[in-house]
Amino acid sequence: MMSICQDQAEMFLMLFFFEKKMIEEIKKELKNKGEIYLKIKAVPNASKTEFKDRMADGTYKISVGAVPEKGKANTELIKYLVKEFGLDKKNIKLISGASSRLKLFKIVKNKNF
């Protein structure tokens, strides 16, 4: 019988690899197409910012470690995308959803991608 600690460790690893797999899929699509539109459902007030799920319609669910006030959650989400995709901030543009949980981003690869 596994301990709770082992179960939690396995769950953490499962989520970690799930997140990395989603990021790699998006990177591959960006590399092939040059630019993509990414639909995101933001879930603010989380303990950290991370990919959580891919919904049936292709929207990515991302928990955001910031409050949805004065653009703080949007800023945190953009910083996260910049870090995960290794892009400059100028390559990621919020097209719609600035004051909504449902957002549309345009992401363009740079020369070094």
Burial profile 39-54: b = 16 or more Cβ within 10 angstroms, e = fewer = bbbbbbebeebbbbeb
Structural domain that includes position 97: 4-108
82, amino acid identity? V
* Domain annotation covers residue 63: yes
CA distance linking residue 109 with residue 102, whole number of Å:
23
CB 29, CB 36: distance < 8 Å: yes
* Domain annotation covers residue 42: yes
* Domain annotation covers residue 113: no
Over residues 4-47, the pLDDT tens digits come to 666 666 766 666 677 888 899 999 999 999 999 999 999 999 99
Which residues are paired to 41 by β-bridges?
61, 102
Indicate the SS3 state at residue 56: coil
For position 21, which CATH number holds?
3.30.1200.10
Residue 1 confidence (pLDDT)? 47
Residue 20 confidence (pLDDT)? 85
Over residues 46-55, the pLDDT tens digits come to 999 999 999 9
CB 60, CB 39: distance < 8 Å: yes
What tokens appear for 28 in the block?
Answer: 């591959």
Residue 108 confidence (pLDDT)? 97
pTM, whole model, 2 decimals? 0.83
- Say how many domains are in the chain: 1
